[in-house]
Structure 1
Amino acid sequence: MSALDTAPSSTNGGPVERRLNARQATLRFLGRYGTLLVFASLLLFNVVFTPNFVAWNTLTLNLTQVATVVIVAMGMTLVIATGGIDLSVGSVMAIAGALAPLIFLDRIVPIPSHTLGVALALTLPLLAAALCGWFNGFLITRYRIQPIVATLVLFIAGRGIAQTFTNSELQTFNEPSFQFIGKGFVWGVPVQVILMALVVLATHYLVRRTALGRQILAVGGNEKAARLSGIDAAGVKRLIYVISGVLAGIAGMVVVAINNASDAARVGTLMELDAIAAVAVGGTLLSGGRANVLGTVLGAFVLQLVRTTLLANGVPDAAALVVKAALIIAAVWLQSRAERI
């Protein structure tokens, strides 16, 4: 046996390959657990250094602040899993939030009974939100318009529609039956947090346990192959945009219930960016074909904890936007690197 046969190879089991394998393993680990590590680090830091962080009032405050983001982000996760994007969710929130008080305040049509008015205020805005979602899906599937362009239509026009409904005026109200969804408690837990948990569980079940969930991932992974396998790709996309619209509508109603008022110019502002950020940080591929529901929840909580941590340490709230952008860049970079391995 020659010396060449016994010498260690730098490309086959040698130091270079071991370093490469270690680097790939690190990237895979960070891609899978990076968000969890950031969350755990932020949580530990706040438990140790932030006064009253573990108090029940602080916990419920953080949960209520992140609840609407998570609700909207669940719909965004499904949309992105199909290879799309939904920039209209903030405007859809404004539409639903504007319609709800106008209905039970009898400012659209006279309602024969108060109970019927509240019931309609809880349902008609969701139907309007579903219609907005269907409109997005229709533009995308019928006319082959890119999702970012198609949803940009309602991103711009939707808020104008909401402001038209309200004449650009603040709509104040006091209706406990309606405000329960934003201010109520069940066994000490805020109702909006319960809504968030139900939406997360339903979305997780849809993705993991249903045929529709498998179809969503198939369409996002390879739409042409999905169609050839018999999946109604257009129908799946339209349905997912409807779901995204309904979830945005729920979030919009919760926001106006919390605030005792509907401000069409402000409800849902920048929510589309918060939802996309939560999805990206949570590990769902922005190119489609994957839906990490629990990762999205974790991503939303990481972004909330970043803001809480900075505020607790005297850092201006604007700095949270910079940190949020950095987290998105890091998450997307890790995704792209992990995909190449």
Structure 2
Amino acid sequence: MTTVTSEETMRTDYTSRLKDHGGLIALAIILVFNILVTPNFLHTQTLAVNISQVATIAIVAMGMTLVIATGGIDLSVGAVMALSGALAPLIFLSDFGQAYPVLGLIAALLFPLLAALVCGMFNGIIVSVLKVQPIIATLILFISGRGIAQVLTNGNLQTFSNPEFSYLGTGKILGFPFQGWLALAIACLLFWVVNRTIFGRYLLAIGGNERAARLAGGPVRGVKIGAYVICSVLSGLAGLIVVAINSASDAARNGNLMELDAIAAAVVGGALLQGGKAPIFGAILGAVIIQLVKYTLLANGVEDEVALIAKAAIILAAVYIQQARKE
């Protein structure tokens, strides 16, 4: 008979707390380091830039969290951002947009999101109906989506001037960036959806045990398609935000490597790669960590390539913690 000492129990509790609150601990360490070492970290302009970047990552990461909760993955989020971002300036610069500015503004907001919705339907149907592995299914749009965006724009940088549209990326409410408020509103809505609706219950059930959810009569196909649609629409919104910030659209750069940031943020925030869990606010925490790691390295003279390695290390650490929780 094995006797568990109080010291071993305390050690186990301490380790468990580290695993459960690793993200918050990592965030605290990064913040303290930047406050002490990085010049102008607490400057208003620096905070505004970081919040803007965090909001974009967080919006996509929340959608990615829903997809991961079903046991899937979406590699096409960056391409959807590029496609959505390419469509808006095309509408502004068209004869219709020039002749009818108000209708052009509405169209520039709605049509890119509609295109993103179609992309999500495409991914969801291939995954749930044709039974193609998610990583392969979404790889199709990962490759073709950005190509379509570049064809639409002839590979050219599109610049425009529309203060109303630019407010999406540069506006502020009570001194806080508008896209930050938007990200928080989306988080609250998705948190309610996941925890208070039938869709949310089936979403987690599918990720936990898809076969059992199907045998119980759950709308597995519909919920999976819904998760991919939400992810793509949020990616399209993020693409519009990036374009609004810059008042320009570059199909080759908009959303580039966002799939890496979104997956990293979701996993760091507590999403389980095998599915069954959708920590929406955890995705925001993960986005903050990912952005601050990138900012910290660049602000202290570390090359961007090293930041990519750091992101990969963060994902590896998060996956290791997930595995450790199972033991």
Equivalent residue, structure 2, for 1:13: 3
Aligned pair in 2 of structure 1 residues 313, 128: CA closer, same or farther (>3 Å)? same
Match runs of 1:89-108 below 5 Å: 89-106=77-94
Residue pair 1:31, 1:283 contacting (<8 A) in 2 also: no
Return structure 1 stretches of 4+ with deviation > 3 angstroms: 21-27, 109-112
Q: Kindly provide the amino acid, as one letter, of the partner of residue 216 in structure 1.
A: L
- Give the alignment partner of residue 104 of structure 2, picking from 106, 111, 117: 117
CA distance in 2, matches of 1:326, 1:319: 11
Match runs of 1:219-298 below 5 Å: 219-298=206-285
Equivalent residue, structure 2, for 1:82: 70
> Deviation at 1:55?
2.7
CA distance in 2, matches of 1:85, 1:190: 29
Equivalent residue, structure 1, for 2:132: 145
Aligned pair in 2 of structure 1 residues 51, 144: CA closer, same or farther (>3 Å)? same
Residue pair 2:83, 2:251 contacting (<8 A) in 1 also: yes
- Give the alignment partner of residue 45 of structure 2, picking from 44, 53, 57: 57
> Deviation at 1:32?
0.9
CA distance in 1, matches of 2:101, 2:281: 39
- Structure 2, unmatched stretches of 5+, are none
Length-normalised TM-score, structure 1: 0.91
Aligned pair in 2 of structure 1 residues 235, 111: CA closer, same or farther (>3 Å)? farther
CA distance in 1, matches of 2:15, 2:135: 30
> Deviation at 1:177?
1.6
CA distance in 2, matches of 1:161, 1:54: 40
CA distance in 2, matches of 1:289, 1:64: 30
Length-normalised TM-score, structure 2: 0.95
> Deviation at 1:22?
5.7
Q: Kindly provide the amino acid, as one letter, of the partner of residue 230 in structure 1.
A: G
Aligned pair in 2 of structure 1 residues 121, 48: CA closer, same or farther (>3 Å)? same
What is the count of residue pairs matched by the alignment? 327
CA distance in 1, matches of 2:314, 2:255: 22
Equivalent residue, structure 1, for 2:181: 194
Say whether residues 1:336 and 2:323 are aligned partners.
yes
Describe the superposition over 1:256-298 as per-residue Cα deviations: whole angstroms up to 9, x where unpaired.
1111111111111100110001011111101100111122111
> Deviation at 1:27?
4.2
Aligned pair in 2 of structure 1 residues 14, 262: CA closer, same or farther (>3 Å)? closer
> Deviation at 1:311?
2.7
Say whether residues 1:157 and 2:163 are aligned partners.
no
Match runs of 1:308-323 below 5 Å: 308-323=295-310
> Deviation at 1:25?
3.5
- Give the alignment partner of residue 306 of structure 1, picking from 251, 276, 293: 293
CA distance in 2, matches of 1:262, 1:309: 27
| RMSD of aligned residue pairs (Cα, Å) | 1.8
Equivalent residue, structure 1, for 2:21: 33
What percentage of residue pairs aligned between the two structures are identical? Answer: 54
Instruction: State the secondary structure of the residue aligned to 1:307.
Output: helix
CA distance in 1, matches of 2:218, 2:180: 35
> Deviation at 1:110?
6.9
Residue pair 1:27, 1:337 contacting (<8 A) in 2 also: no
